[in-house]
């Protein structure tokens, strides 16, 4: 295997790994949102009523609404990002057609700013431009891969599934136990789930796991406490 093929293979493996980690991180965060949102909802309803039907109905409605909202928001957000990337690529293609020499100077200057000597930076810019000018400029100037733009549908489905999986945890945990144990069982399941997502997100971001777990669990517990007592207050008022 030639050195060029080896380095290109290594580059693609690093890019694939980075993309997988980004999707995994987004999935973990989506699941975390599902856990916290659904835990707050079902615990709040449980504070207002002991009716399993009411809790389950509210939970399912909240799960569907939350998952669709997450998916829709992600689709719109990523679509906007994709449109922006496409517009930037079109502009770059136009500039390459109309002023190729200026664009070559700009590319050489970018590599010179990264530490290459003026001669080597010029050589690198010329060789990359000769091979694929649009890709060379898009990656160096815009940090965009023209052949691998973010997919809004993929992002939407990932968010939908992640939120649903996370949201099912508190919903199932509060639906199965007896009335006296519902809130406690849900709380325990949520603490375990948030600790797990906190640990995974910390490992992916190479941060301290203890801090991430504490922050995750703390936010989730606070959300459950607040919504539970809101449910208690309104349940007593309605009763």
pLDDT band at 124 (very low <50, low <70, confident <90, very high): confident
pLDDT band at 2 (very low <50, low <70, confident <90, very high): very low
Average pLDDT over residues 4-31: 58
Residues 219-225: contacts with CB within 8 Å, 24+ apart? Answer: 219/36, 219/194, 220/35, 220/36, 220/39, 220/190, 220/191, 220/194, 221/187, 221/190, 221/191, 223/36, 223/39, 223/40, 224/39, 224/40, 224/43, 224/186, 224/187, 224/190
Summarize pLDDT for 127-182 with one digit per residue, the tens.
888 888 888 888 888 788 777 777 888 888 888 999 999 999 999 999 888 988 88
Q: What does the pLDDT read at residue 16?
A: 53
**In this model, does residue 61 exceed pLDDT 90?**
yes
- Contact yes or no for 136/125 (Cβ under 8 A): yes
Q: What does the pLDDT read at residue 209?
A: 85
Q: What does the pLDDT read at residue 20?
A: 57
Residue position matching structure tokens 């399912």: 60
Helical H runs in the chain? 3-48, 52-98, 100-113, 118-131, 133-137, 152-175, 182-205, 209-238
Query: How many whole angstroms separate alpha carbon 108 and alpha carbon 121?
Result: 5
Average pLDDT over residues 98-116: 86
| Residue 25 in domain | no
Average pLDDT over residues 48-71: 91
| Residue 58 in domain | yes
Structure tokens that stand for 27 in this block = 């999935």
| Residue 9 in domain | no
Total number of domains in the chain: 1
pLDDT band at 81 (very low <50, low <70, confident <90, very high): confident
Q: What does the pLDDT read at residue 128?
A: 85
| Residue 10 in domain | no
pLDDT band at 60 (very low <50, low <70, confident <90, very high): very high
| Residue 23 in domain | no
**In this model, does residue 5 exceed pLDDT 60?**
no
Average pLDDT over residues 66-71: 92
Q: What does the pLDDT read at residue 10?
A: 46
| Residue 78 in domain | yes
Q: What residues make up the domain containing 65? A: 39-238
| Residue 20 in domain | no
Q: Tell me the percentage of the chain whose pLDDT exceeds 70.
A: 87
Q: Which of 182, 209, 183 is nearest to 196 (CA)?
A: 209
Q: Tell me the percentage of the chain whose pLDDT exceeds 90.
A: 18
| Residue 99 in domain | yes
Span of 13-17, 75-79, 170-174 with lowest mean pLDDT: 13-17
Summarize pLDDT for 88-105 with one digit per residue, the tens.
888 888 988 888 888 888
């Amino acid at each position: 295997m030639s050195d060029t093929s080896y380095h290109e293979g290594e580059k693609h493996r690093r890019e694939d790994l980075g993309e997988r980690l980004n999707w995994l991180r987004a999935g973990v965060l989506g699941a975390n949102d599902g856990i916290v949102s659904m835990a707050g909802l079902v615990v709040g309803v449980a504070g207002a009523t002991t009716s399993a039907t009411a809790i389950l109905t509210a939970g399912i409605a909240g799960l569907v609404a939350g998952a669709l909202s997450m998916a829709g928001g992600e689709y719109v957000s990523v679509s906007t990002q994709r449109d922006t990337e496409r517009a930037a690529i079109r502009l770059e293609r136009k500039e390459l057609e109309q002023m190729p020499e200026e664009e070559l100077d700009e590319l050489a200057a970018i590599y010179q700013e990264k530490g290459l000597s003026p001669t080597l930076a010029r050589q690198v810019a010329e060789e990359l431009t000769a091979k694929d000018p649009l890709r060379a400029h898009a990656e160096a100037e815009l940090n965009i891969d023209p052949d691998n733009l973010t997919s809004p549908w993929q992002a939407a489905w990932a968010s939908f599934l992640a939120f649903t999986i996370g949201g099912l945890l508190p919903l199932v945990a509060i639906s199965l136990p007896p009335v006296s144990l519902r809130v406690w069982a849900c709380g325990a399941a949520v603490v375990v789930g948030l600790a797990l997502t906190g640990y995974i997100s910390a490992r992916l971001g190479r941060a301290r796991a203890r801090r991430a777990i504490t922050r995750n669990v703390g936010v989730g517990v606070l959300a459950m406490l607040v919504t539970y007592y809101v449910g208690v207050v309104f349940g007593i008022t309605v009763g």
